[in-house]
Structure 1
Amino acid sequence: MFIKEFLQLRRDRVTFAMMIVIPLMQLLLFGYAINTQPTHLPTAILTQENTDVSRAIVAALKNTSYFEIVRTTQSGTEMDHWLRAGSVQFAVEIPAGFERALRRGETPALLVAADATDPVASGTALGALNGVLSSALSGLRGLPDTTSTAAFEIRQHRRYNPAAVTRINIVPGILGTILTMTMLIFTALSVTREIERNTMENLLSMPIRPLEVMLGKIAPYVAVGFAQAALIFVAGFFVFGVPVEGNLILLAALSVLFIIANLSIGYTFSTLARNQLQAIQMSFMFFLPSILLSGFMFPFAGMPVWAQWVGEALPLTHYLRIVRGIMLKGAGMCDLAHPTLMLAGLMLFAMMLAVTRFRRTLD
């Protein structure tokens, strides 16, 4: 029996590969990609003056490992758009007359707006901000001692989650995570189930094209996924008190897009797998990086560049930005154009791959 199991395992190359790849993937992701103290967070500068003090503040933010200046503007409306869209994590506003007030000893204020939908990503950086700016201004002539006295004030505005409540960040993410897991498994078993039940010949003999087969198989699960999403949304709103600031119709439409994308990926796995066990294994291989690299469990901005590139290829990454943007920030379609286009592109790519692969199985 011992020898028989080894021979069977050797014949099932997909299962054997999963036994090796999954531990290596976990080791790689947890060892290199996961970072609970994110650095190089995207930051925008809203400056109303061009002085030595403003330049010193910008230079200090660039030199620290916490902030990365990616955008500069003089418009508060543009800054608000970047925060809603998730293009930046922080926005530092240097008001007009800041240097003059500082030299007169009037204790001027800097406004720092932070996207607090992810408290972990913003908390550490905000805590280090005061020391960074005080050290930067201490070397300028004619200024009061910024290291020993409160020469200026930093007013922190934690937007969208001012109390840093964890469930406000987690519950919208659970919506996407549960949909990813269930939709993948549902459709990953669709074609392999036909093969194991010896009904594949009847399916192939039907006068319909591979595209019609795929659409017919995933269409019922769209309704199932939408019902799941509605249930989680209602529970999040009434049980956990998660606010809903945006348009529910937009959220529903983009949720359907996300559901179809995951169903298409699961259907692709069903055309590749030889049995239901392999289909579930492939689904798990896709679900593991989705939950770790999408920004659901760990800050996306704190991951290395290669991990962010992998995360950008996952539908869950873009859906998390959509659902958090609509529910917590009140974002509109203009703010969510990029994640919506990425999600649609991933869905079309998965559909094309699934149809092409299914045609090969007809030979």
Structure 2
Amino acid sequence: MSGQSSSKGGASSRGRASGGGGAWNRILAVLTKEFIQLTRDRLTYAMILVMPIVQLMLFGYAINNDPRDLPTAVLVQDHGPMARSTLSALVNSGYFKIVQEAGSPADLDRAIARGEVQFALTIPADFTRRVVRGDQAQILVEADASDPAATGGAIAALASLPRTALTRDLARGQLGAATQAASMGADRDPFEVVIHRRYNPEAITAYNIVPGLLGVILSMTLVMMTALGVTREYERGTMESLLATPARPIEVMIGKLAPYVVVGLIQTVVILVLARALFAVPMGTGGMGGWAALVLGVVLFIIGSLSLGFLISTAARTQLQAMQMSFFYIMPSILLSGFMFPFRGMPQWAQVLGSVIPVTHFLRVVRGSLLKGLGLEDLWTSLLALAVFVVAIAAAAMSRYRRTLD
């Protein structure tokens, strides 16, 4: 009996040992299989590794909520020492960078309306004379305040400009007695900075964010819906059935994308109606020219987004890959287009990269037509960029589509 017990105990211990070793072998086999799967699905896991790096680079280097060196146009009608000191103090503040010298108020108005500059400074012809006499001298600073976050820091810096700009002139005794006495008594500044916030004088954030949402929403829905929809057809094998019909490949593509054009137009109308009804976003200030630019920009952007989604579907083998590739496009579109963060607050390399993204140009069209009342003649560069994007992406999608069918 004791011999049988010992033999059974030995067999039991060997079975446990064997079972434990078998479990580790099975785990090792599954682990090996997963590593093999990683090598087969390189695109998905490469994007998983690349995405954190891209996010780190964008948030660490490109995002800046306190933009400096904002492009500024100046109209200097007084070339005296006081005007030169004021310009030097403006540049030394770090918030302003003079990039253009206008010849007339119309040039200033055109530059700030088209988005060529963020600020426009006017120093009147009698500036020095009024400062010397203590006769309420003024300078005018016009700001493109359609994005309050982009101009807030610079406008705040202007508060100290009258006291710092003429410090040397005050020390040298170049100011009049009345002005020196007022400055020494700290009851009045040598001159006044008149700030004119254009396009959004009350600094309402919704005026900038809500029109920008149009580009983000269209990108998220149209690109992703198209990429997932076409990829799903390949996964289920129904695309081959469609191609077996008398319909040509180009006809199949147009037929599949046309409904999404209608979806995009409906989304646009809904967003614009709600923007006006709920947030009182200004609209129609540019008349028929502004609406023509907006409609053309919307149509180009919808077609370009659908073409991009179709191009993604030709590269993705699964719906998961299609979704990941769509996010890889959508994330930079949100961060680098000027939707969430000031475009001019980013470093130069980030601005160049953002200029390649179609959402950047679409936002300029939407905000320019709605908030500034700009028309085709003012927004043609952004519209041209959208047209080039449509042609390039559509050509690449069709080329890739034909190769995929072969």
Same fold (TM over 0.5): yes
> How many angstroms does 1:209 deviate by?
5.6
Q: Unaligned regions of 5+ residues in structure 2, if any?
A: 1-26
Which amino acid counterpart does residue 124 of structure 2 have in structure 1?
P
Q: Helix, strand or coil: the match of 1:45?
A: strand
Spell out the pairing of 1:31-110 with structure 2 (5 A cutoff): 31-110=60-139
Which amino acid counterpart does residue 71 of structure 2 have in structure 1?
P
Q: Which has the larger radius of gyration?
A: 2
> How many angstroms does 1:352 deviate by?
1.4
> CA-to-partner distance for each residue in 1:171-194, whole Å, 9 max, x for gaps?
111111101100111211243222
Instruction: Note if contact 1:214-1:355 (Cα within 8 Å) is conserved in structure 2.
Output: no
Instruction: Note if contact 2:162-2:189 (Cα within 8 Å) is conserved in structure 1.
Output: no
Instruction: Note if contact 2:243-2:252 (Cα within 8 Å) is conserved in structure 1.
Output: no
- Answer 1 or 2: higher relative contact order, Cα 8 Å, separation at least 6: 1
- Comparing 188-197 and 203-212, the one that deviates more: 203-212
> CA-to-partner distance for each residue in 1:126-161, whole Å, 9 max, x for gaps?
111232453232223512456844110001111111
Q: Distance in 2 between matches of 1:41 and 1:220?
A: 43
Q: Percent identity?
A: 52
Q: Normalized per residue, which structure has more helix?
A: 2
- TM-score when scaled to structure 2? 0.85
Q: Distance in 1 between matches of 2:219 and 2:68?
A: 28
Is residue 231 from structure 1 mapped to residue 270 from structure 2 by the alignment? yes
Q: Distance in 1 between matches of 2:363 and 2:377?
A: 16
Paired position in structure 1 for 2:11:
none
Q: Helix, strand or coil: the match of 1:44?
A: strand
- TM-score when scaled to structure 1? 0.94
Q: Distance in 2 between matches of 1:273 and 1:109?
A: 61
The alignment covers a number of residue pairs equal to 363
Instruction: Note if contact 1:60-1:133 (Cα within 8 Å) is conserved in structure 2.
Output: no
Which amino acid counterpart does residue 53 of structure 1 have in structure 2?
M
Paired position in structure 1 for 2:224:
185
Q: Helix, strand or coil: the match of 2:97?
A: strand
Paired position in structure 1 for 2:345:
302
- CA RMSD of superposed structures (Å): 1.9
Q: Distance in 2 between matches of 1:94 and 1:214?
A: 58
Instruction: Note if contact 1:61-1:67 (Cα within 8 Å) is conserved in structure 2.
Output: yes
Q: Helix, strand or coil: the match of 2:146?
A: coil
Within the candidate set 349, 352, 356, 1:313 is matched to: 356
Q: Helix, strand or coil: the match of 2:75?
A: strand
Paired position in structure 2 for 1:282:
325
Q: Distance in 2 between matches of 1:119 and 1:256?
A: 28
Q: Helix, strand or coil: the match of 2:99?
A: strand
> How many angstroms does 1:214 deviate by?
3.7
Paired position in structure 1 for 2:387:
344
> CA-to-partner distance for each residue in 1:286-341, whole Å, 9 max, x for gaps?
00000000000000000001111111011111111111111111111122121111
- Comparing 55-64 and 121-130, the one that deviates more: 55-64
Q: Distance in 1 between matches of 2:250 and 2:89?
A: 56
> CA-to-partner distance for each residue in 1:67-121, whole Å, 9 max, x for gaps?
1111111221221122221111111111121111111111211111111111111
Is residue 115 from structure 1 mapped to residue 150 from structure 2 by the alignment? no
> How many angstroms does 1:212 deviate by?
4.4
Within the candidate set 194, 197, 210, 2:236 is matched to: 197
